[in-house]
Amino acid sequence: GAGVSQSPRYKVAKRGQDVALRCDPISGHVSLFWYQQALGQGPEFLTYFQNEAQLDKSGLPSDRFFAERPEGSVSTLKIQRTQQEDSAVYLCASSVNRGSETQYFGPGTRLLVL
Amino acid sequence: AQSVAQPEDQVNVAEGNPLTVKCTYSVSGNPYLFWYVQYPNRGLQFLLKYITGDNLVKGSYGFEAEFNKSQTSFHLKKPSALVSDSALYFCAVRAVMEYGNKLVFGAGTILRVKS
């Protein structure tokens, strides 16, 4: 079946621009996660949704980062007034439900802020 | 707080030889441990997990991992390496949040298998 998909795969933004990154989770998956992977590092947790509810956003690095999942399926991660330090790969993952341990990851969006 | 350490930045193995990628963890409570693999310009692919039960866990593509509670380790192993196994490998531990679980990852280990 179809896995997690993300778009765009690559995004180049000028410093100060706003960007929006999209995630389509596996159909029927209740839980959705966003992670940030800086170059040469492991992914780091940003935020978590259960259906449409954002239950944890403790990993968002600043108030320029905003995520939503209004209908409990597709999610968008928005970064306002991008900075060079926002350059990273943004990974989306989904899991069947809250109690499911395995997260399935999308291919990621590579963001480069110039 | 939960954490994971992957002590080797890179592991080099000859094709056909056994491979081991090391991981140690620190958690409060019972550990839920995972291995993921990442190929260039692709997302993380799930390999295997340890929740409970047998200390030797078998996963995808012939990989297995051994859970050792006394050494707080969860090393990834494969009896015979393939060139196609060359990739970036991440160990992760579950961290319980108030309303769900997140994964805490190590820094990753590059595996290079030479023919």
pLDDT band of residue A92 (cuts 50, 70, 90) is: very high
- CA triplet A33, A38, A41: central angle to 5 degrees? 95
How far from each other are the two terminal CA atoms of chain B, in whole angstroms?
A: 41
pLDDT digits (tens, 9 = 90+) for A31-80: 999 999 999 899 999 999 999 999 999 999 999 999 999 999 999 999 99
User: What is the residue type of A26?
Assistant: I
Parallel, antiparallel, or unpaired: how do β-strands B109-114 and B10-14 relate? parallel
Q: How many CB atoms lie within 10 A of CB B63?
A: 20
Q: What is the pLDDT of residue A6?
A: 97
Alpha carbons B33 and B28: distance in angstroms, whole number: 13
Model pLDDT for residues B83-102, shown as the tens digit of each residue: 999 999 999 999 887 777 89
Chain B positions with Cβ closer than 8 Å to A? 4, 32, 34, 36, 41-46, 49, 51, 90, 92, 94-95, 97-108
Given a cut of 80, whether residue B41 has pLDDT beyond it is no
pLDDT, residue B61, reads: 93
Paired residues of B37 in beta bridges:
B45, B89
CB–CB contacts below 8 A, A to B: 74
Amino acid identity for residue A2 in this structure: A
Separation CA A91–CA A23 (nearest Å): 9
Q: Say if residue A98's pLDDT is above 80.
A: no
The residue-averaged pLDDT of B7-30 equals 95
Residues of chain B by 3-state class (helix, strand, coil), percent to 5: 5, 55, 40
Residue A86: per-residue pLDDT: 97
3-state DSSP assignment of residue B84: helix
Distance from C-alpha of A5 to C-alpha of A79, rounded to nearest angstrom: 19
The per-residue pLDDT for A100 is 66
Q: How far is B24 from chain A (nearest CA, A)?
A: 15
Q: In the predicted model, what is the mean pLDDT of residues B19-29?
A: 94
Q: How far is B33 from chain A (nearest CA, A)?
A: 9
| pLDDT-derived band at B1, boundaries 50, 70, 90 | confident
Q: Do A42 and B105 touch (CB under 8 A)?
A: yes
* Confidence check: pLDDT of B31 > 60: yes
How far apart, in whole angstroms, are the C-alpha atoms of residue B88 and residue B40? 8
Edge-to-edge strand list for the sheet holding A65-68: A5-7, A19-24, A75-79, A65-68
Which DSSP symbol is given to B18?
Answer: -
Cα gap A38→B41, rounded to integer Å? 13
Looking at residue B29, its pLDDT comes to: 84
Q: Is A27 on the interface with B (CB under 8 A)?
A: no
The answer to whether the CB atoms of A101 and B32 lie below 8 A apart is yes
Q: Chain A partners of B33 at a C-beta cutoff of 8 Å? A: none
How far is it, in rounded angstroms, from Cα B57 to Cα B50? 7
